């Protein structure tokens, strides 16, 4: 009887150990570094790996400099070519990254880090299909540090951390702070370039003039 009791106690302890065994956690995606030495957090969403921060590079993959366009005239008048600028007002936060025009987003020299690229509309379609009826909720930063109150439904469960960012007008070069996040795509639509529009509604892709300025989040090339 005593032996049976000991065996039962041992069996119970063994089962308890099995229950307490920690669940295996997958390794998070490795951060990526651009040609300027800026390092970015990354997140895996379904089968895709995305940057979890806005791009800040000032050079293409081949080392050539992206043209800095400071003034309104430089931004809006000929020659209209690939360029970037710092968000205005200065010092509002490095989390916003640089503001790029559509010419830079589609430039074949590639503003993304090596092994990465500016996403396409097809990439957005894959992303939205994976998120399903959750819309933008899993992508949006929680709270009201950047979003207007009450930012209903935001969970940021993917770690993408989308938040409203400044954009630059293509007509007069003026800056505005969006109530949503716009991110360039590399999909050309006539004289326009597509971009991701992320706010409280489902994610959508909308074309904008190439001289418009907004942020970039890159996607990793598939093996």
Counting other chains too, the contacts that 108-111 makes at CB distance below 8 Å and 24 or more residues apart are 109/60, 109/61, 109/62, 109/64, 110/60, 110/61, 111/55, 111/57, 111/60, 111/61, 111/66, 111/216
Interatomic CA distance for residues 146 and 37, integer angstroms: 26
The span from the CA of 11 to the CA of 41, in Å, is 45
Lowest mean pLDDT among 91-95, 123-127, 136-140, 190-194: 91-95
Query: Which pLDDT band, with edges at 50, 70 and 90, does 89 fall under?
Result: low
Q: Are 152 and 217 in contact (CB under 8 A)?
A: no
Residue in 34, 39, 92 with CA at minimum distance from that of residue 66:
34
Average pLDDT of the residues of the chain: 85
The candidate with the shortest Cα–Cα distance to 36, out of 15, 76, 65, is 65
- pTM reported for the whole predicted model: 0.85
User: Residue 40: which H helix or E strand, with range?
Assistant: strand 39-40
Query: Which helix or strand (DSSP H or E) is residue 100 part of?
Result: strand 99-101
At residue 64, φ and ψ (nearest 5 deg) are -70, 145
* CA gap 169, 97 in Å, rounded: 17
Give 100-114 pLDDT, tens digit per residue. Answer: 999 999 999 999 999
Does residue 14 carry a pLDDT above 50? Answer: no
pLDDT at 90: 61
Omega prior to 140 cis, within 30 of 0: no
Residue-level pLDDT at 214? 93
């Amino acid at each position: 009887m005593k032996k049976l009791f000991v065996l039962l106690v041992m069996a119970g302890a063994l089962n308890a150990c099995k229950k307490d065994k920690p669940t295996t956690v997958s390794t998070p995606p490795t951060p990526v570094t651009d040609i300027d030495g800026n390092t970015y957090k990354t997140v895996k969403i379904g089968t895709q790996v995305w940057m979890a921060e806005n791009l800040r590079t000032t050079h293409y993959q081949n080392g050539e400099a992206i043209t800095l366009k400071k003034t309104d005239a430089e931004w809006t008048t000929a020659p209209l070519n690939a360029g970037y600028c710092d968000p205005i007002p200065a010092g509002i936060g490095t989390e916003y990254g640089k503001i790029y025009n559509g010419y830079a987003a589609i430039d074949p020299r590639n503003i993304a880090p090596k092994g990465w690229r500016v996403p396409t509309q097809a990439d957005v379609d894959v992303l939205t299909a994976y998120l399903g009826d959750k819309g933008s909720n899993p992508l949006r930063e929680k709270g009201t540090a950047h979003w207007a109150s009450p930012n209903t439904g935001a969970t940021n469960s993917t770690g993408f951390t989308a938040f409203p960012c400044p954009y630059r007008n293509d007509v007069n070069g003026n800056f505005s702070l969006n109530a949503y996040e716009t991110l360039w795509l590399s999909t050309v639509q006539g004289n326009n370039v597509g971009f991701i529009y992320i706010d409280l509604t489902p994610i959508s892709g909308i074309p904008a003039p190439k001289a418009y300025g907004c942020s970039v989040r890159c996607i990793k090339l598939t093996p």
